[in-house]
Amino acid sequence: MTANKTLLWMKYGHVINAISLRENIDLEQAMDIFYKSYTYQEMREGISDMHCRSDEYLAEEIAREG
């Protein structure tokens, strides 16, 4: 399933915010972590419908990567 581009960009922002809150870091650091993650690649490529998962779940997955 391919997500609408606008909705996907909104989802990225929500996940970045969730990373920031979870790790207690600023948004710039959270954005850097997000865009370097394997989870972001999966979301961007539409693999496993990752964009359908909750923001908190995705933030946790990204934390496990590091």
Q: How many CB atoms lie within 10 A of CB 38?
A: 12
Residue 2 has pLDDT above 90, yes or no: no
Residue 1 has pLDDT above 70, yes or no: no
Q: What is the pLDDT of residues 49-63, one digit of tens each?
A: 888 999 999 999 999
List, as own/partner pairs, every contact residues 1-7 make where C-beta atoms lie below 8 angstroms and the sequence separation is at least 24, other chains included.
1/46, 1/49, 1/52, 2/46, 3/46, 3/51, 7/51
Give the CB-side neighbour count of residue 18, counting CA atoms within 13 A: 18
Q: What is the pLDDT of residues 9-63, one digit of tens each?
A: 999 999 999 999 999 999 999 999 999 999 999 999 887 788 899 999 999 999 9
**pTM score, whole prediction:** 0.91
